[in-house]
Amino acid sequence: MPILYSSDKRIFTIHTAHSTYQLQADALGNLLHLYYGARSEGHMDYLLSYADRGFSGNPNAAGCDRTYSLDALPQEFPTQGTGDFRSPLLIVRDAKGVFGCQLRYRSHEILPGKYSLPGLPAVYAGAEDGAETLQIELEDPRLGLSVTLLYGVLPALDIITRSAIVTNRGTAPVTVEKLQSACLDFVAGDFDLISFPGRYAMERQFDRRPLGRGTAVIGSRRGYSSHQYNPFVILCDREASETAGRCWAMQFVWSGGFRAEAERDQFEQTRLQMGISEEQFSYPLQPGETLTAPEVILSFSAQGLEHLSHQLHRCIRRHICRGKYRDARRPVLLNSWEASYFDFTGESILRLAEEAKALGVELLVMDDGWFGARSDDTHALGDWTANERKLGGSLGALVEKVRALGLKFGIWMEPEMVNEDSELYRSHPDWALTIPGQPPIRSRSQLVLDFSRREVRDEIYARICRVLDQGQIEYLKWDLNRSIAEVYSHTADDQGKVLYDYMLGVYEVLEKLNARYPELLIEGCSGGGGRFDAGMLYYSPQIWCSDNTDAIDRLRIQYGTSFGYPASAVGAHVSACPNHQTGRTTPLQTRAVVAAAGTFGYELDPAKLSEAERGEIRRQIETFCADAPLVQNGLYYRLSDPEAAPCCAWAFVSEDGARAMISAVLQEKHANMPALYVRVRGLTPGALYRDRETGRVYPANALMDMGLPLPLNLDQYDSFVWRLERIEER
């Protein structure tokens, strides 16, 4: 049993294969956090220390005991107003405007299978997976407020999930001013905080810094998880590396604004927490109403960052992503955007399809510009009706012509947005999030539709369906190209609810699309990687990693992404050179090697390629299709840091160690360079491996100890790939 309860001490113990999480409802009814680390038996309440801390308040229930203070004790779900002056997970204001909430343990239940969250994405697993749920009920009698803490356990994956449901069981309204989902309190330790900041076209850059006194905060105020910060953080020992040291991950299953905090307090204790953003959040609950905190995925590794990533990758691949394409190889696609931007016709799309088919491409995607009066990004967004004059006929007819060539057909949409110069906006200007009496703030010449409103969601869903029903469209790129600057819904009874309800509205539409079109592959996108998170992966098993398709920049983007997300989720394409974002020229082979660490596709016009390049692309597609099962399901190893090494290298190794693909890109070239060696990991110790290309045999131990020498004749930005197969003993 992964969840155990000791009634004498009211201690809850959660075991996974290699970790233990422990908490206690103490004698005063406070829920204290005891331990999260390497698997351990017994009770860890001995870790608690009590002393008169001075200026740290004592709860009334403690009587004259000045050694008991929540300002110094580790907690599971700290709230504001208890004498704990660290950052709380919950802040509540009552009907009289009084702040404060004091929750006490009331009851608990242990259930088979993993809980689900209605209307929200969440990790899924059944009792057949060995999953269990711990449900703990806390209450504040003064407010009539209850909080149900949810713990989901996937023991084989070393995954624990956290969520909370706040219910107003009283007779008066209350307002939730802050709600976070998970907290880890450490009584001791020197830690580094790893986060993944960035910007548009350079998302998820690895950032590691020592955690000192005070609070480190990252998050998004933009209404979405954002290009600037990712809702995923790691706390680790100062000496932790890829292969050694303790590390803890928090990954938010949420696509809206978020806040992650790491605080080292006056007693050298550390609190790590994560939840929805406090900015413009003020959620009223009438008697009987509930509010659910989105889920946080927790994972612990005592074997370094690499092992932690493997645990998260397995969880996302098998227990977040759903549908036909969870396990199936994704089709190799060609997207029309960098081939033609807005400047295309139905005839040119067909020519592009013919060229794509000749190369071995399986899916043609018609990007922005196919609808309404759309010829640039200033108008027609929201008018999801095909421009038949531009396409030379109906959308359905074009779909059939492309399919007749032997290709699947895909299409681009941006359902959450609207241009002021559109029929939709002229008919429903109040459907946009705008502040009355104030000129709207534009971004990319567009406004945000109010998906917190039922009528908006229903109409946009109906328009999407009318598009998809015109032919057998098998791929939808769901884009989003601006942040929310103005939070005002013209029908909301309280504006503090809008951002939360907006995200639930987006999820609702995506869930309905998945149910209606189970064969449809949805690729998430937000100007590339602006909404790359576990929440979106519940609805779209892949996300366009970045609008930046430059192979060298992508080394850094995909490196940072790999810490929390599997390669199967990473939308990656080979684009034309000079690259449209950076102007850099890299070899076609290198562009393919980098894109092959993702879903793989093309973003170029084949008509502009030489015959030699066409031949190379045919071989690239054949090779990728052969390698795809290993890329999609294998263990990913970061073999070098692209910021710190002249050679960026990574590997995919099958779970059983039988196959390995090692890729390397030479980032720097200097005169008379020393030989560079790529040290491999994940192979079977003591085994021999044969190179599929050359037939050469290598001993695994030497490959993992000294490595593979990169050929000395490589030029800057050249790449090299080794494909190894274990030689089985006969």
C-alpha distances (whole Å) from 269 to each of 264, 345, 415, 424, 682 are: 6, 62, 45, 54, 35
Nearest-angstrom CA–CA distance, 275 and 432: 26
- Write out the two tokens for 423: 């029929």
Nearest-angstrom CA–CA distance, 427 and 411: 25
DSSP calls for 515-529: HH-TT-EEEE-BTTB
Average of per-residue pLDDT across 241-266: 98
Every domain of the chain with CATH number 2.60.40.1180 lies at 647-726
Q: What is the DSSP code (8-state) at residue 446? A: B
Query: What is the three-class DSSP state of 557?
Result: helix
Nearest-angstrom CA–CA distance, 74 and 95: 30
**The domain made up of 647-726 is a member of CATH 2.60.40.1180:** yes
User: What's the one-letter identity of residue 35?
Assistant: Y
Closest CA to 333 of 514, 539, 473: 473
HSE-up (13 A, CA, CB side) for residue 325: 25
Contacting residues for 614 by C-beta, under 8 A, at least 6 apart: 358, 359, 606
Q: Is 694 in contact with 708 (CB distance < 8 Å)?
A: no
C-alpha distances (whole Å) from 375 to each of 344, 349, 379, 477 are: 9, 15, 8, 19
Sign of the Cα torsion 271, 276, 279, 280 reads negative
Q: Is 329 in contact with 625 (CB distance < 8 Å)?
A: yes
Residues carrying an active site annotation? 533, 613
The pLDDT assigned to 728 comes to 85
Establish whether the linkage from the previous residue to 88 is cis, with ω within 30° of 0: no
The owner of tokens 């695994």 is 700
Number of helices (H), then strands (E), in the chain: 13, 38
Q: Is 543 in contact with 571 (CB distance < 8 Å)?
A: yes
The pLDDT assigned to 156 comes to 98
Q: Could you tell me which residues are beta bridge partners of residue 716?
A: none
Q: Is 522 in contact with 537 (CB distance < 8 Å)?
A: no
User: How do residues 77-90 score in pLDDT, each as one tens digit?
Assistant: 999 999 999 999 99
The pLDDT assigned to 407 comes to 98
DSSP calls for 48-99: ------SSS---GGGTT-TT--TTTS-BSS-BTTSS--SPPSEEEE-TTS-B
- Write out the two tokens for 200: 């548009």
The pLDDT assigned to 269 comes to 98
- Write out the two tokens for 177: 């001013």
Closest CA to 597 of 626, 630, 619, 575: 630
pTM for this prediction = 0.98
Tell me which H or E stretch contains 174. Answer: strand 174-186
* Stated length of the chain: 730
Mean pLDDT, the chain, integer: 97
Q: Is 36 in contact with 300 (CB distance < 8 Å)?
A: yes
User: How do residues 193-209 score in pLDDT, each as one tens digit?
Assistant: 999 999 999 999 999 99
* Class for the domain spanning 3-319: mainly beta
- Write out the two tokens for 190: 């020197």
The owner of tokens 């819904």 is 489
Given a cut of 80, whether residue 535 has pLDDT beyond it is yes
Q: Range with the lowest mean pLDDT among 194-203, 592-601, 632-641, 721-730?
A: 721-730
Nearest-angstrom CA–CA distance, 50 and 53: 9
Closest CA to 80 of 173, 172, 143, 152: 143
Query: What is the three-class DSSP state of 157?
Result: helix
Average of per-residue pLDDT across 317-341: 97
Q: What is the 3 state secondary structure string of 532-551?
A: CCHHHHCCCCEEECCCCCCH
Q: What is the DSSP code (8-state) at residue 386? A: B
Closest CA to 707 of 627, 645, 621, 656: 645
Q: Could you tell me which residues are beta bridge partners of residue 571?
A: 544
Q: What is the DSSP code (8-state) at residue 435? A: -
Nearest-angstrom CA–CA distance, 525 and 504: 17
User: How do residues 330-388 score in pLDDT, each as one tens digit?
Assistant: 999 999 999 999 999 999 999 999 999 999 999 999 999 999 999 999 999 999 999 99
User: How do residues 514-528 score in pLDDT, each as one tens digit?
Assistant: 999 999 999 999 999
Query: What is the three-class DSSP state of 146?
Result: strand
C-alpha distances (whole Å) from 621 to each of 75, 191, 568, 655, 694 are: 52, 44, 16, 24, 21
Given a cut of 80, whether residue 135 has pLDDT beyond it is yes
Nearest-angstrom CA–CA distance, 278 and 259: 7
Every domain of the chain with CATH number 3.20.20.70 lies at 330-414+456-478+505-633
User: How do residues 394-451 score in pLDDT, each as one tens digit?
Assistant: 999 999 999 999 999 999 999 999 999 999 999 999 999 999 999 999 999 999 999 9
Q: Is 401 in contact with 388 (CB distance < 8 Å)?
A: no
User: How do residues 566-623 score in pLDDT, each as one tens digit?
Assistant: 999 999 999 999 999 999 999 999 999 999 999 999 999 999 999 999 999 999 999 9
Q: Which fold has domain 330-414+456-478+505-633?
A: TIM Barrel (3.20.20)
Q: CA dihedral in degrees (392, 394, 398, 401; nearest 10)?
A: -100
Nearest-angstrom CA–CA distance, 625 and 12: 47
Given a cut of 90, whether residue 730 has pLDDT beyond it is no
The pLDDT assigned to 405 comes to 98
Q: What is the DSSP code (8-state) at residue 367? A: -
Q: Could you tell me which residues are beta bridge partners of residue 293?
A: 164
User: How do residues 255-275 score in pLDDT, each as one tens digit?
Assistant: 999 999 999 999 999 999 999
Nearest-angstrom CA–CA distance, 231 and 274: 8
The pLDDT assigned to 157 comes to 98
How close are the terminal C-alpha atoms of the chain, in Å?
40
| pLDDT-based confidence at residue 1 (cuts at 50, 70, 90) | confident
